[in-house]
Amino acid sequence: MDSAEGVEMDAFRDRVALVTGGASGIGQALGRELARRGAAVVLADVDDDGAQATTAQIAAAGGRARAAHLDVRDREAFRALVADVLEREGGLDLLFNNAGIAIVGETLAMSDDDWDRMIDINVRGVTNGVQAAYPEMAKRKRGHIVNTASLAGLAPQPGLTAYATAKHAVVGLSVSLRAEAARHGVRVSALCPGVVRTPLVQNLKVLEEESYLKRDDLVAMLPFKFITPEACATAALRGVERNKALIVVTPHANLLWRAWRLAPSAVLAASTLAARRIDRLKR
């Protein structure tokens, strides 16, 4: 083991981590990488089979992990799970509020149910985690909460208005709580990836899908390459080690975020053109 890897291992060894959305995608990759680095991991998800399969793989590789059923919209269930982790594991050092969904399409096509589901999972799912874990971490004067947001929480994303609404909320929650939590010894970060090849992308809901190109054709139009969940997890944990407020992952996400900060009018104009281009692709 070289010295760099030793530092990585020491940062997470014997820590207790709870990861929501842990059955697949970024959550699954986080669970595997945390366990590889010596953490005890609890993977929470509504997909019991996926979470169990992942924990079995981690155990087979010599790691420590267990699965837990959790619908992040259920506030009391989240609190009960945190209490269970504290009792069984003796503490909670890291909470990754990672569970989420995506809906693609024009805002005019969004139903009330679409908005409710987006807010309930992507915003309330995070606040429920914060409400469950943050008071316990504050009592112990230690802990790190990592809330998965997105590039959509940092810059305009036409066709993803509801998703961007939720992810901007997650970023706002994270940076504001970070300022409050510092005096209690608790760290808070927002993870903001670009596009990661996960089941969320493959299974996202496309509004008025019959009017658009096929999903794979839309994905192929993107002017950048996807990264893997594993690459995202590695970058995320590097940001946690460095205690970064915003962990912006992928080169295109960093580029667009910085461009939005420096030249918002130009980025908004480009986003408007992109929205018109998508509109022209309607059949």
Neighbours of 19 (CB within 10 A): 33
The packing angle between helices 112-119 and 161-181, to 10°, is 30
Show the DSSP H helices in the chain as ranges.
Answer: 3-12, 25-36, 48-60, 75-89, 112-119, 125-140, 161-181, 199-202, 215-221, 229-241, 251-262, 264-280
Known active-site residue 163 = yes
Q: Where are the alpha helices (DSSP H) in 182-263?
A: 199-202, 215-221, 229-241, 251-262
User: Could you give the C-alpha distances from 153 to 20, 36, 232, 248, 267, in angstroms and in order?
Assistant: 19, 30, 17, 11, 14
> Which is catalytic among the residues 12, 163, 212, 257?
163
Residues annotated as catalytic (active site), given as ranges? 163
